[in-house]
Amino acid sequence: MSEVLIVAEHSAGMLNTSTARAVSCALGLGSAQVDILVLAEQAAPVAAHAATLAGVRRVLTVERPENREPLAVVYAPQIAAVAAGYSHVFGPSTTFGRDLMPHVAALLGVSQLSDVMAVEGPYRFRRPIYAGNAVVTVEAPAGRVVVATVRTASFPPAGGGGAAVVESLDLRVELPTHTRFVSRPPASSGRPDLQSAARVVAGGRALGSAENFRMVYGLADALGAAVGASRAAVDSGYVPNDLQVGQTGKIIAPELYVAIGISGAIQHLTGIRDARTIVAINKDAEAPIFEVADLGLVGDLFQIVPELERLIRSGSGA
């Protein structure tokens, strides 16, 4: 039987849905016992939510002042200490998990398996390569702990209704002091989180400027959607890089993805291929984005987007 430890991702006392998706991956191992580890200064709110996830046996908490911010070098030694006795240690393949899990793997003396998208057995998994254009099956050595990041776009969130036991751990682990938290810019947009949003509106370089990119924000607000961007838009300085979608950005799987002025480079398509419905707006009828789009509008985005926003707001009674 597999014993799986999942590292919880959370912020402002809220459990990120990436954790619930990692639980679904763990349950795919078969007869697995799944525990969630919550590292925080005050873990109770996050632990209470994690305990409701279906299939979770225990929620383990470690409360320390040093855990106030999710610093990989601080979290990793604690996770490695808790990992003793577990066959698998999973984290989400998000910015949080990609930063943290290699540290954990190094401390445990194993190689990390990245972007697990399917489970074929306790030590056998599938993951994408070549910007998602190929999928390989990999097998980890049996008898050694498997440290992996879970491609959250490939798994549904675990359901609710669980009643896991919450246990507090008192770890005597010396933490490094060479890294310290300085500051974090406040997220004050009021929009849904990009990686967990059901709807996403994204813009590309064709918008031409940061000022024109405001159209994307307007349409996103009308739809109640998160905002994303192509790498070209980020590199051009229209938006910050935390909005980047694609191979070197965020991998997402929303119910609706609206691509405005995005040509559809293969690196970008890697980040959206699991979206349920893709809508593309582009003046170039030959743009690659139309090959994957469920709906396409060929025309001037500067005319189409404002009209779409007007119609949506009018139809909602706004």
Residue reference for tokens 């989400």: 92
Does residue 70 sit within a domain? yes
Does residue 25 sit within a domain? yes
Strand order in the sheet with 118-121: 118-121, 124-129, 134-139
20 with 150, same domain?
A: yes
242 with 157, same domain?
A: no
The contacts of residue 194 (CB under 8 Å, 6+ apart) are 200, 226, 227, 228, 242, 243, 245, 250, 252
Alpha helical stretches, state H, 134-238: 214-223, 231-235
Task: Give residue 183's pLDDT.
Answer: 82
Task: Give residue 189's pLDDT.
Answer: 61
Domain interval for residue 29: 2-168
Helix (H, G, I), strand (E, B) or coil at 134: strand
CATH code of the domain containing 148: 3.40.50.620
Would the pLDDT of 158 be above 50? Answer: yes
Q: Which of residues 168, 185, 218 is at a domain's end?
A: 168
CATH code of the domain containing 238: 3.40.50.1220
163 with 203, same domain?
A: no
Q: Stretch 225-232: mean pLDDT, rounded?
A: 96
110 with 247, same domain?
A: no
Count of domains observed in the chain: 2
Determine the straight-line distance between the first and last CA of the chain, rounded to whole angstroms: 54
Give the pTM: 0.82
20 with 151, same domain?
A: yes
DSSP structural state of residue 189: S
Closest by Cα among 245, 271, 234, 252 to 197? 252
Task: Give residue 153's pLDDT.
Answer: 87
Closest by Cα among 260, 316, 306, 308 to 287? 260
151 with 205, same domain?
A: no
Task: Give residue 318's pLDDT.
Answer: 43
Task: Give residue 317's pLDDT.
Answer: 44
The Cα–Cα gap between 36 and 22 comes to 10
231 with 162, same domain?
A: no
Q: Stretch 202-229: mean pLDDT, rounded?
A: 96
pLDDT in tens, 63-111: 999 999 999 999 999 999 999 999 999 999 998 999 999 999 999 999 9
Does residue 181 sit within a domain? no
CA 56 to chain centre: 20
Does residue 193 sit within a domain? no
pLDDT in tens, 269-312: 989 988 999 999 999 999 999 999 999 999 999 999 999 999 99
Task: Give residue 186's pLDDT.
Answer: 62
pLDDT in tens, 107-126: 999 999 999 999 999 999 99
Q: Determine the angle formed by the axes of helices 214-223 and 301-315, rounding to 10 degrees.
A: 30
Closest by Cα among 84, 38, 35 to 55? 35
